[in-house]
Chains A and B, each alone.
Chain A
Amino acid sequence: MRADGGAVLEVRDLVKHYPLTRGVLVRRQVGAVRAVDGVSFDLRRGETLGVVGESGCGKSTLARLLVNLERPTAGRILYKGEDITRLSGRALKAVRRNIQMVFQDPYTSLNPRMTVGDIIGEPFDIHPEAAPKGDRRRRVRELLEVVGLSPEHVNRYPHQFSGGQRQRIGIARGLALRPEIIVADEPVSALDVSVQAQVVNLLERLQDEFELSYVFIAHDLSVVRHISDRVAVMYLGRLVEAGTDAQIYDHPTHPYTQALLSAVPVPDPSVRTRRDRILLVGDVPSPANPPSGCRFRTRCWKARRRCAEVVPPLEVPEAFRESGGPAAHVSACHYAGERRVVPAGDVGDARDVRGAGDAGDVGD
């Protein structure tokens, strides 16, 4: 909705394998954990792309790849048309200025021995061209104000702040260099609901103010819907479905997305009995030894022989290609079919919002 077209980040067939080795003197590779295994998407200017998935699906590895904390095994990440995975030295440093990260745990991502002022000002030491030396103190105080903390707190240490306040400090640090893209890995999952709402609102306000593009990675599907323009669902290192928030939440076509959505508890006791619940059996397979074909087939109620033999591509399923409508979005399933699993809440209210969302998304 806020997005105005052009892609700032193009991710193509991104792969990250971590080798598994055996032996002490002669180490030989016996396999690999396929944390990210062929992920492609575009991040458009000014939009929020939500990435959801359960633990072990590779979403945090994806975040680290995007900000160049890890080098991919294969694939490309194009920032304004330039492949940043092969950059080094000065060129890499310049790119990093524009792609910043906010981490999950506000307790371990801030150095306990540094004052808040030093933490937020540290990016300026690394990128001195971003702010002249005499100006840094002022910039830091300004940043504190922007994220809703008192500039007087500049000399305090992280332990003097609550979890929500620490996350604001992490956000201020991410903003210091005026990046274009912020990759946020579970930025609110460590926070209580009342504080979580404050931080989510802050992220949305900052996005408008600084024209940021977000990659918002989280396991909480409700938060992701709230903040995202588009949503991508990940399972065992691959994207299984992607689309606008209304397409994914109200018209999911991939069985995994349907199961995931149907399992989320909704804070409304009146829908308890009339919900379509899909209970998956078993656990997520190991990413070191993923199933052949479709990776979800071992837990899928629709699985047939073809699912074990052919990897389903991430594209608009044939069934919906002609008809169009909100179900026509990319979904990596041979037998994709629409199934409504999110119950309509307070009917009147919800309809209004959804109608507006659909109208805006048709051209997508």
Chain B
Amino acid sequence: MSDALLEVRDLHVEFRTRDGVAKAVNGVSCSVDAGETLAVLGESGSGKSVTAQAVMGILDSPPGRVTGGQVLFRGQDLLTMGAEHRRRLRGDRLAMIFQDALSALNPVLTVGAQLAEMYEVHQGMTRRDARARAITLMDRVRIPAAKDRVGDYPHQFSGGMRQRIMIAMALALEPDLIIADEPTTALDVTVQAQVMDLLAELRREYDMGLVLITHDLGVVADVADRIAVMYAGRVVENAPVRDLYAAPAHPYTQGLLESVPRLDRKGKELHAIKGLPPSLVNIPPGCPFHPRCPRARDVCRTDRPPLFPVAPGRSSACHFWKETLDASRS
């Protein structure tokens, strides 16, 4: 594990809210190797975006606060390093793509200026050189007539084009790792396909690590190598994508896969997971999934399951992972 590009160890994040302390992230551990695509899958409130923000150091704090754990980037702990050092890594070695490009881009600066800024600030380029690089970059993410559009403002682009500009900005300094938080959720499906294709292609070309944060089981199946499933601020299953889809080893993962309607066949009734995700202010004791779990027994209500190793590179936080796995294989 020591050669991992990014390794998150037992990360904890809390938010102070009016209703009490919301435990958004409760001991997340995961890692990404160079050139690997890790999908972090979860529903709203599972802590997937907060984890990404804590890794990038852009958590809203207050009210948010990292209360424990390590984030090792090439072995260096980002959480303990100086703010200036961390700022230099950000953008240069690790970059982020956000869901909503319209609010992530500055509306009063041209896209060219925002792209060029990366080179001016990090590499000390002259304005003219930086602008030329910005145009090359826009070409690279296939924005038509980049030369003419470099002076346009974000609102003059369509949703798909704006997302390409965000990708361009993340790629500008050829980072080692990109964290993409729901990069295509706001886009139509034909545009989503274009953008995901571009992202996957560029990832291969630059041999970057990619952390893809998403709620879409379809997108994960399309692009990811490995997947970490999150529930109530924890990783509940961690596995190579093919293994997980073939036979999930956690009842939550199993429930998710069964509750998705399929394009390629018409099922009868969908298997819904009963109940609702827990409130982060009041997470159930033991396994946080037990109130909704069809396999829950007494031990699940009292003992928090750790991530049990299931196979090399695969783990599940379920006391009954073995019977879950056997059941999903049959």
Same assembly: yes
Given A197-B270, A197-B272, A226-B270, also A269-B245 (CB < 8 A): yes
Count, chain B residues at interface, CB 8 A: 46
CB of A283 within 8 A of CB of B191, answer yes
Residue B120 at the chain A interface, CB threshold 8 Å: no
CB distance A353 to B265 under 8 Å?
yes
B residues in contact with A219, CB < 8 Å: 188-189
In the complex, A115 has a CB within 8 A of chain B = no
Q: List A314-364 residues whose CB lies under 8 Å from chain B.
A: 342-345, 349-350, 353-354, 357
A266 and B189 in contact, given A226-B266, A280-B194 (Cβ under 8 angstroms): no
Cα of A196 to Cα of B256 in the assembled complex, Å:
11
Q: Is the CB of B264 within 8 A of A345?
A: yes
A175 to B87, CA, bound (A): 55
Question: By the criterion CB–CB under 8 Å, are B256 and A249 in contact?
Answer: no
Contacting pair A279 B194 (CB below 8 A): yes
Q: Does B219 contact A (CB under 8 A)?
A: yes
A201 cross-chain contacts in B, Cβ below 8 A: 269-270, 272
Please state if A272 and B259 are interface contacts (CB–CB under 8 Å).
Answer: no
Nearest chain A CB to B180's CB is how many angstroms away? 15
For residue A142, give the distance in angstroms from its CB to the closest CB of chain B. Answer: 22
Q: A225 within 8 Å of B by Cβ?
A: yes
Q: Identify which of B160, B161, B216, B259 contacts A265 (C-beta below 8 A).
A: B216
Contacts A192-B44, A272-B222, A283-B158 given; does A225 touch B260 at CB 8 Å? no
Residues of A within 8 A of B158 (CB): 283
Inside 8 A of B189's CB, which chain A residues have their CB? 54, 219, 221, 260, 263-264
**Taking CB as reference atom, which chain A residue is nearest B274?**
A198
For B257, the chain A residues whose CB sits under 8 A away are 267
CB contacts (< 8 Å) of B59 on chain A: these are none
Residue B262 CB within 8 A of the other chain: yes
A267-B218, A344-B264 as given contacts; A283 in contact with B160, CB under 8 Å: yes
Q: Are B266 and A267 in contact (CB under 8 A)?
A: no
Contact residues of B between 257 and 279, Cβ < 8 Å to A: 257, 259-267, 269-274, 276-277
Q: Which of A200, A265, A269, A283 contacts B261 (CB 8 A)?
A: A200
CB of B132 within 8 A of chain A? no
Q: Which one of B242, B256, B266 lies within 8 Å of A193 (CB-CB)?
A: B256
A190-231: which residues lie under 8 A (CB-CB) from chain B? Answer: 192-198, 200-201, 204, 219, 221-223, 225-227
In the complex, the answer to whether A267 meets B221 with C-beta atoms within 8 Å is yes
- Interface residues in A126-151 by Cβ distance below 8 A to B read none
Instruction: Fill in one digit per residue for A257-281: 1 if any B CB lies within 8 Å of its CB, else 0.
Output: 0011111111111111000010110
Specify the chain B residue showing the minimal Cβ separation from A353.
B265
Q: Once the chains bind, are B218 and A265 in contact (CB under 8 Å)?
A: yes
Of A162, A164, A263, A354, which one neighbours B193 at CB under 8 angstroms? A263
A residues within 8 A CB of B190?
Answer: 54, 259-260, 263, 280
Q: Are B259 and A194 in contact (CB under 8 A)?
A: yes
A55 at the interface (CB under 8 A from B): yes
Q: Are A197 and B259 in contact (CB under 8 A)?
A: yes
Known interface pairs A222-B262, A279-B193; A194-B267 also in contact (CB < 8 Å): no
Question: Smallest Cβ distance from A154 to chain B, in angstroms?
Answer: 19
Q: Name the distance in Å between A218's Cβ and chain B's nearest Cβ.
A: 11
Please measure, in the bound complex, the distance between the C-alpha atom of A221 and the C-alpha atom of B265, giving whole angstroms: 12
Specify the chain B residue showing the minimal Cβ separation from A299. B190
B23 within 8 A of A: no
Partner of B263, one of A204, A277, A342: A342
Partner of B272, one of A198, A223, A271: A198
Q: Is B192 an interface residue (CB 8 A)?
A: yes
Q: Does B10 have its Cβ within 8 Å of any Cβ on chain A?
A: no
**A241 adjacent to chain B (CB < 8 Å):** no
Query: Does A245 have its Cβ within 8 Å of any Cβ on chain B?
Result: yes
Interface centre among A164, A193, A264, A350 (most CB of B within 10 A): A193
User: Do B262 and A54 touch (CB < 8 A)?
Assistant: no
Measured CA separation A280–B246 after assembly (Å): 31
Q: When chains A and B are docked, how far (Å) is the Cα of A62 from the Cα of B35? A: 46
Q: How far is the CB of A64 from chain B (nearest CB, A)?
A: 20
Residues of chain A lying within 8 A (CB to CB) of residue B326: none
Q: B255's contact among A162, A194, A357, by CB below 8 Å, is which?
A: A194
Known A-B contacts A194-B255, A219-B188, A265-B222; the reply to A204 vs B269 at CB < 8 A is yes
Contact A193/B215 with A164-B276, A226-B270, A268-B221 known, Cβ cut-off 8 Å = yes
Whether A221 contacts B263 by the Cβ 8 Å rule is yes
Instruction: Pick the most buried of A195, A268, A344, A345: most chain B CB atoms within 10 A of its CB.
Output: A268
Q: Are A349 and B265 in contact (CB under 8 A)?
A: yes
Q: Is the CB of A350 within 8 A of B265?
A: yes
CB 8 Å contact bits of B93-128 with A (1 = contact, 0 = none): 000000000000000000000000000000000000
Q: Give the residues in chain A near B194, CB-CB below 8 Å.
A: 279-280
Contact A268 B245 (CB under 8 A): yes
Cβ-based interface call for B197 (8 A) = yes
B242 contacts which chain A residues (CB < 8 A)? 269-270
Query: Is B218 in contact with A266, judged by CB distance below 8 angstroms?
Result: yes
Distance of A198 Cα from B218 Cα, bound (Å) = 19
Is B217 on the interface with A (CB-CB < 8 A)? Answer: yes
Contact of A54 among B188, B218, B269 (CB under 8 A): B188
Enumerate 7 A-B pairs (CB-CB under 8 Å) in ascending A order: A55-B188, A164-B276, A193-B217, A197-B271, A197-B273, A267-B220, A269-B242
Q: Which 8 A-B pairs have the closest CB atoms?
A: A265-B218, A226-B261, A197-B259, A263-B193, A197-B272, A192-B43, A54-B188, A267-B217
Given contact pairs A193-B259, A264-B189, enumerate 9 new A-B contacts (beta carbons under 8 Å).
A54-B189, A192-B43, A201-B269, A263-B189, A267-B221, A269-B241, A269-B245, A283-B191, A353-B266
